[in-house]
């Protein structure tokens, strides 16, 4: 009996599983730090794959071919997703540092919840053969 088909061809992927926690964490990392977080899909490629949070640039130089796919977390969001709350947007007047911290923490918490209502059911990944549409299944 043979196992699932594996491949070096990312066009064999039909669906991706992504935890919403990984997706939200990657989005927040990209907005709050100088680091770039991606959702990485590691070969060999199957029909159903998992995309996990990863800091871009952290690959070993001898990873081999094919290289993992690095997908921007923004790829998974629809165009109506709310923007990440900036600290100047949550500044109270009159200013109080404790109030500001509390207001900003609450705004970020609300943003994290809201993002979950703006997830795409299908995404297009870039391949050597051009864009390739896959279904997305969100976990958690």
Angle of helix 20-32 relative to helix 97-115, nearest 10 degrees, comes to: 140
Looking at the structure, tell me whether residues 21 and 89 fall in a common domain.
Answer: no
Looking at the structure, tell me whether residues 91 and 123 fall in a common domain.
Answer: no
Check residue 59 and give its pLDDT. Answer: 64
Overall number of domains in the chain: 2
Q: How does pLDDT run along the chain (140 residues), one tens digit per residue?
A: 445 555 789 999 999 999 999 999 999 999 988 889 999 999 999 999 999 999 987 666 555 678 899 999 999 999 999 999 999 999 999 999 999 999 999 999 999 999 999 999 999 999 888 999 999 999 98
Looking at the structure, tell me whether residues 34 and 103 fall in a common domain.
Answer: no
Looking at the structure, tell me whether residues 2 and 55 fall in a common domain.
Answer: yes
Looking at the structure, tell me whether residues 74 and 94 fall in a common domain.
Answer: no
Looking at the structure, tell me whether residues 126 and 58 fall in a common domain.
Answer: yes
Domain assignment of residue 98, given as a range? 82-117
Looking at the structure, tell me whether residues 133 and 123 fall in a common domain.
Answer: yes
Q: Is 49 exposed, middle or buried (0-12, 13-18, 19+ CB in 10 A)?
A: buried
pTM: 0.86
Check residue 60 and give its pLDDT. Answer: 60
What the block records as the tokens of 136 is 């997305």
Check residue 1 and give its pLDDT. Answer: 46
Looking at the structure, tell me whether residues 51 and 107 fall in a common domain.
Answer: no
The contacts of residue 67 (CB under 8 Å, 6+ apart) are: 43, 59
Looking at the structure, tell me whether residues 47 and 111 fall in a common domain.
Answer: no
Looking at the structure, tell me whether residues 5 and 40 fall in a common domain.
Answer: yes
Check residue 65 and give its pLDDT. Answer: 74
Looking at the structure, tell me whether residues 14 and 67 fall in a common domain.
Answer: yes
Looking at the structure, tell me whether residues 27 and 93 fall in a common domain.
Answer: no
CA triple 7-125-81, angle to 5 deg? 145
């Amino acid at each position: 009996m043979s196992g699932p088909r594996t491949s070096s061809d990312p066009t064999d992927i039909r669906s991706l599983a992504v935890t919403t926690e990984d997706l939200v964490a990657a989005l927040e990392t990209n907005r709050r730090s100088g680091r770039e977080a991606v959702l990485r899909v590691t070969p060999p490629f199957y029909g159903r794959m998992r995309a996990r949070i990863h800091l871009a640039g952290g690959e070993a130089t001898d990873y081999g071919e094919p290289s993992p796919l690095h997908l921007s977390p923004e790829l998974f969001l629809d165009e109506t997703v709310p923007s990440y709350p900036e600290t100047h947007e949550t500044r109270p007047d009159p200013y109080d540092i404790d109030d500001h911290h509390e207001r900003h923490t609450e705004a970020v918490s609300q943003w994290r919840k809201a993002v979950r209502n703006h997830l795409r059911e299908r995404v297009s990944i870039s391949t050597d053969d051009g864009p390739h549409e896959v279904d997305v299944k969100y976990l958690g």
